[in-house]
Amino acid sequence: MSAPEKKRLDVARKAASASHPQNIFERRMSKFLREPPSVRLAANVIVTATVMIVVLGGVLMRVFDHEEYGSVWAGMWLVIQTVTTVGYGDVAPKLAIGRIVAALIMLWGIAFLAIITAAITSVFVARAQQERELAAEAEASSTRTSIDDRLDHIDVQLRQLRELLEQKPS
């Protein structure tokens, strides 16, 4: 096989693998980006991402601020409070690295609320648009039917006029 043929084959393989991702995460993400999200899909993505952030944040708090957070669970408690923007105030990081991790989690919490709001709003907007399109289509169909009925009526009248004209002597 020549070098250009190998190159074309390699490009074709890459294109095929890009259009059909092998990784489950890539498949789900490409489906999510390809199709408009339903409320259920958006909620699943948000919940999964939030759980991952809570677990990762709890581990990071334990690793970086282990003096204050003796277990991953204690770190996860702080992260849950922060992500949900509840912030009881019973725990707060004292070390700079813990505060940096907490600040990142706070930003995630704000983004979390914004994404939920945007996802739900986009679903409502998409459904309203779909309903408007269906109503417009039904109205157009009704108008076409009405016009067809009128034209049929005109055809009948013309036929009757022809018959009358043919019956009358000139």
Q: Max Cα separation, the chain?
A: 115
CB 36 within 8 A of CB 126: yes
Q: Distance between CA atoms of 123 and 146, rounded to whole angstroms?
A: 34
pLDDT for the residue numbered 12: 59
Domains of the chain: 36-134 (1.10.287.70)
Q: Distance between CA atoms of 63 and 72, rounded to whole angstroms?
A: 9
Per-position pLDDT tens, the chain of length 170: 677 777 666 665 665 555 555 677 677 667 666 666 666 777 777 788 788 888 988 898 888 888 888 899 988 888 888 877 777 777 788 888 888 888 888 887 788 778 777 877 877 787 788 888 888 888 888 888 888 888 888 989 999 888 888 886 65
Tell me how crowded residue 112 is: count the other CB atoms within 10 A of its CB.
18
CB 96 within 8 A of CB 64: no
Instruction: Note the pTM of the prediction, 2 decimals.
Output: 0.49
Q: Distance between CA atoms of 95 and 63, rounded to whole angstroms?
A: 12
pLDDT for the residue numbered 59: 92
Q: How far is CA 125 from CA 21, 57, 60, 90, 113, in A?
A: 30, 34, 38, 40, 18
